[in-house]
Structure 1
């Protein structure tokens, strides 16, 4: 057994832990209408670590399909129900991020992904060698609770499907109501 604060010796057969400098980007999942608090926390983390911030919006109305020539292409889940405004949604999110992040000294970029949010963010985190994934909680309310029960939380799915740390930024935390007569 090793004394606290002391590295095991190479003779013990274990390789001593050597921390490495974090160099991969901070990956932030973005959803339409998300409060800027998530972007602010992700930007602060990226700035503090001296790494890039990659902001990713996942279009859940599309999926990835591999073409015969090996290319991977995003296709609509329902070709008849195509949301013609998906490019508009991405452009709006990018404009909001630009207004919030330009001039902050944070090197950042924006990408649109396709498919299941947890899987898409996990794939991007792997390919970019992200240091951490940042997501926000859902807004409070019955609809959000029901959706989370039915499809689950992106943050929970991320923690179970990949090995990077996930930072969850709380949004609109529950505040206990004052008791009557106090």
Structure 2
């Protein structure tokens, strides 16, 4: 669950759908591909798409001593929301964008539970040496969601992988 001191940002566009799909989104290619697939799925099912972004240090500039560090972080989060809004513009999908600090697995499960989501959609970093090293440094969100067994998880391969 999000911590008591965490700020949760939720921005909504469009009418509510009768069903819900939750998407774990990041600005990397895997996140963008997952957004494409989840948007298509939400449109086909007439479902409300809940785009969830876990805010972490990657959303902030590298220099924490910068005088405008917090402002740069807010601008980066606004740009994240803008990318989602642009990707969904003109699509016949009701959607919400959620962003707050915390463990991505917990955040996705929280929103999925609140919205009684049909499923959670996430991208994958793929396989290979780079991916294995990345998993050593950061927890695999898809593996974490599958391990909890709370609800179905759709893992979207990157572009060109099928």
With the length of structure 2 as denominator, give the TM-score of the two structures: 0.72
How many residue pairs get aligned? The number is 136
For residues 119 and 47 of structure 1, the distance between their equivalents in structure 2, rounded to whole angstroms, comes to 26
Whether 2:28 is the aligned partner of 1:41: answer: no
Q: Is the 8 A contact 2:29 2:158 kept in 1?
A: no
The RMSD of aligned alpha carbons is 2.6
Contact 1:27 1:53 in 2 (8 A): yes
What are the equivalent positions in structure 2 for 1:117-136 lying under 5 Å apart? 117-136=104-123
Q: Which residue is equivalent to 2:50?
A: 54
In the alignment, which residue of structure 1 is the partner of 2:142? 155
Q: Counterpart of 2:102?
A: 115
Matched residues in 2 for 1:139 and 1:87: separation? 30
1:30 aligned residue: 25
Q: Would the alpha carbon gap of residues 141 and 87 (structure 1) be closer, same or farther in structure 2, given more than 3 Å must change?
A: farther
Distance 1:103 1:174 in 2: 27
Rate the CA distance shift 1:24–1:81 in 2: closer, same or farther, 3 A.
farther
Structure with higher RCO (Cα < 8 A, 6+ apart): 2
TM-score, scaled to structure 1: 0.65
Which is higher, the Rg of structure 1 or of structure 2?
1
Q: How far, CA to CA, are the matches of 1:31 and 1:141 in structure 2?
A: 20
| 1:92 Cα deviation after fit | 1.3
Segments of 5+ residues of structure 1 without an aligned counterpart are 1-21, 62-79, 176-182
Shift of 1:155: 0.5
Q: Secondary structure at the match of 2:151?
A: coil
Post-superposition Cα deviations, 1:8-36, rounded to whole Å, max 9, x if no partner, equal: xxxxxxxxxxxxxx943111111123353
Residue 85 (structure 2) pairs with residue 90 (structure 1) = no
1:41-96 CA deviation, whole Å, 9 max, x = no partner? 001111111111111100135xxxxxxxxxxxxxxxxxx77952332222112111
CA contact (8 A) 1:140 1:172 kept: no
